[in-house]
A and B are shown apart, each in its own frame.
Chain A
Amino acid sequence: MGKGLSHMPSTHSKADRHRGGRHFSLYMLLGAGLLLLGMAASISLGAARINIATAWQALFQYNHDFSEHQVIRFLRLPRTIADIIVGASLAVCGAVMQGSTRNPLADSGLMGISSGAAFGMAVCFAIFPNSPYMINILYSCMGASIATLLTYTIASVGARGMTPQRLVLAGMSISMLFGALTTVIVIKYRIGKSMLHWSSGSTASAGWVELAVVTPLFLASIAVAISISRSITMLSMGEEVASGLGLHTKKTRLMATLIILVLTGLAVVIVGPIGFVGLIIPHAVRFLIGVDYRYIIPMSALYGAAFLLIADIFGRLYNRPSETPLGIIFAIVGVPFFLYISRKIRRDGV
């Protein structure tokens, strides 16, 4: 990684470059510490409190007779990993989206992608009940693609092109439309139970089988995201600058879109449609480290994972033993943040 940091896009000021490079490893270390702390808390806290030593034993000296060990192995641990995967996916997704579209309000929840993915899940539940996990992912990705395509098309039709506001409004109405369609399917095919179970925004149901399917896809997408992060930085400076620097903008955009769809699809399959993570984390990271996506993307992954983990712990502990869905926590945290950003856009006159 050290090598990659040495040649930065020449358009940045020297001070900026220096600052980003030096603080990056520090912030990454900090994030990793936060993540580890979160993991430890996530494994030991919950409906039943289990101390960390027992958790450690459950991992390395597993004893089938202890119910606590079973809880850790088959409930807490997969859930923790699912939190990490979902958090990282959504945050990276938001970062890639914001960078490649130059739209500060891009977020998979706000833009209707999540509700499209939910719609895909509903269709899948209705047509193929008890289908394997891969099929679920496929359908949710298809739903996500359709919704994205619609939102983008509608937001960019018209004289002034795709402004942040139009993107959000188009995304909102696409969300409502797909939400209504999903309701109709849910009622018609009586899949309310499985949908409700899934759409409440929780990683509680994640098991090892699901993780085994999702993890390779997740790792591959994150790797691709990091590998094109340089191109995304160029794209974020504008189409002309990017092609002036010799970037294949079409190819980069295509890759970015693919990453977005896969990551949203798998996050939605695990956790249900939740928004705002992808909006908040990249902005916070950009505030810390600057505008270079080679730093933003890995840091978003780390901090997104830690953020979701902590939110999930909070959701488990607040109002115990019933759980507060992640979607609610994020909406309550995310709305003021959204308002702040949209005000800032207006002030800066984007």
Chain B
Amino acid sequence: MRRSTLNGLWINLIMAALLLIMTLISLTTGKMGLSIGEILDVFLGMGTGRNEAIIYHFRMPRIVLAILVGIGMGLSGAVMQTLLRNDMASPGTLGISAGSGLFVMLVITGFQITSLASHFLLPALAFIGGITAALIIFLLAYRHRTDLSPTSLIMTGVAAGTGYNALSLMITLKMDEYQMEFALRWSEGSLWGDKWDFIGIMLPPIVLISLYIYKQYRSLNVFALGAPMAKSLGMRVRFKFITLAIAAVTLSSVSVAFGGSFFFVGLIAPHIARRICGSNHGIFLPVSALAGALLVLTADTLVRSTFPTFGVPTGVIITLISAPYFLYLLTRAR
């Protein structure tokens, strides 16, 4: 046991180091190339005004946003997969992202997105949308006295997600040009909220909920054994299930609100993590979060360095990487 925790620490340190390296690479790429030396100068307060502006106003917020979105989606997917004991669960496949998206569209049509009030309204309503979606999906898939079958839950999620998306599209059609462009950018997953004030709103909930979830890692370990086992081990299963599910939905809603719909990160990050470190949640949870962050940041850096003029949304790249993986999972699913 002791040895595995030690390993876990090392794995997390290595992941964190990778994330740091990726951050540096991401800082150097963009329309204007900066060398590592120039970046260090800026951090030490000796950079030119132009470089300072590039880093502090444009690149840093975007990188921080990518990392936060990745952490939020990765952790949320990890929790959902454990709670439902299902490999294919994620905010995207369960239709929760789509539910949040519907409410985000409502905010866009109803309010000026640039005003301060909407900054707070956006994640709040995204959360309401996500929770509503989760409830509806659960009620639709629920059958009395039977276990929820994983595939049927996801089928329900996919169907409900399609419905939400159609409603969102219907709202989109009523938008003016400016709102429409914003909605398109949002729905393709393109990290739109890359300003410090957005990050200021996003940071506290993500950090707090992540800490809460991490504190619950023992409960999650028990959940992984199945609800009957958890009950017989004396856990308040229903209470824990509900609070953890709410935490996961909040996490995904907040990241989706400012990052755009990153459908697959919540699915794939926990899988990468499980491959690396197994399923002891004390290690698995942080590795999932870091894997999610790495994924989004890498995809975003890729987009910025290879398609700077085309503007391919980051979410598209992630879908291209992840959809084949989901199919692979599907072929192996029982």
Report which A residues bind B (CB closer than 8 A): 154-155, 157-160, 163, 165-166, 168-170, 172-174, 176-177, 179-181, 183-184, 187-188, 319, 322, 324-325, 327-328, 331-332, 334-336, 338-339, 342-343, 346
Contacts and interface: CB of A to CB of B under 8 A. Distances in A.
A239 B169 CA distance: 42
A165 B155 contact: yes
Contact of B331 (A157, A177, A187, A346): A157
A3 to B, nearest CB: 42
12 contacts: A154-B331, A158-B331, A158-B333, A165-B155, A170-B327, A173-B323, A173-B327, A177-B320, A183-B313, A319-B173, A335-B159, A346-B152
Contact of B319 (A180, A325, A331, A342): A180
A155 B327 CA distance: 9
A346 B149 contact: yes
B332 interface: yes
Given A180-B319, A183-B313, A168 B158 contact: yes
Given A157-B331, A177-B323, A335 B160 contact: yes
Contacts of B169: 325, 327-328
A176 B317 CA distance: 11
Contact of A181 (B263, B320, B327, B332): B320
A154 B327 CA distance: 7
Contacts of A179: 319
Contact of B316 (A183, A336, A339, A346): A183
Interface in B161-198: 162-163, 165-167, 169-170, 173-174, 188
Given A158-B332, A176-B319, A324-B170, A168 B163 contact: no
Contacts of B332: 158
A194 to B, nearest CB: 17
Interface in B205-248: none
A334 B234 CA distance: 44
Interface string B285-313: 00000000000000000000001001111
A341 B137 CA distance: 15
B88 A169 contact: yes
Interface of B: 88, 140, 143, 149, 151-152, 154-156, 158-160, 162-163, 165-167, 169-170, 173-174, 188, 263, 307, 310-313, 316, 319-320, 323-324, 326-327, 330-334
Given A179-B319, A319-B173, A332-B166, 4 more contacts: A187-B310, A331-B165, A335-B162, A339-B160
Nearest to A182: B316
Considering the complex of A and B, which 3 residue pairs feature the smallest CB-CB distances, nearest first?
Answer: A331-B166, A335-B163, A177-B323
B330 A170 contact: yes
Contacts of A180: 316, 319-320, 323
Given A158-B333, A166-B330, A342-B155, A328 B319 contact: no
A177 B151 contact: no
Contacts of B167: 332
Nearest to B166: A331
B324 to A, nearest CB: 7
A328 B166 contact: yes
Contacts of A187: 307, 310-312
B211 to A, nearest CB: 33
A169 B155 contact: yes
A328 B330 contact: no
A180 B330 CA distance: 19
A45 to B, nearest CB: 20
A331 B162 contact: yes
B268 to A, nearest CB: 12
Contacts of B156: 339, 342
Contacts of B312: 183-184, 187-188
Contact of B159 (A158, A176, A342): A342
Contacts of B140: 339, 343
A25 B313 CA distance: 53
A172 B90 CA distance: 14
Nearest to B158: A172
B173 to A, nearest CB: 7
B331 A188 contact: no
A160 B333 CA distance: 9
A336 B320 CA distance: 29
A335 B334 CA distance: 26
Contact of B170 (A155, A183, A328, A336): A328
A172 B170 CA distance: 21
Contacts of B88: 169
A158 B140 CA distance: 28
A84 B334 CA distance: 42
Nearest to A275: B162
Contacts of A328: 166, 169-170, 173
A183 B188 contact: yes
Q: Considering residues A155, A160, A176, A346, which has the most beta carbons from chain B within 10 angstroms of its beta carbon?
A: A176
B307 to A, nearest CB: 8
Contacts of A170: 327, 330
A177 B319 contact: yes
Contacts of A163: 151
Nearest to B168: A328
B235 to A, nearest CB: 29
Contacts of A188: 307, 310, 312
A148 B158 CA distance: 19
Nearest to B315: A180
Nearest to A165: B151
B271 to A, nearest CB: 14
A59 to B, nearest CB: 32
Contacts of A339: 140, 156, 159-160
Contact of B330 (A169, A325, A334, A342): A169
Contacts of A342: 152, 155-156, 159
Contacts of B151: 163, 165-166, 169
A111 to B, nearest CB: 12
A334 B165 CA distance: 13
B186 to A, nearest CB: 14
Contacts of A159: 334
A208 B298 CA distance: 49
A173 B162 contact: no
Contact of A184 (B149, B152, B174, B316): B316
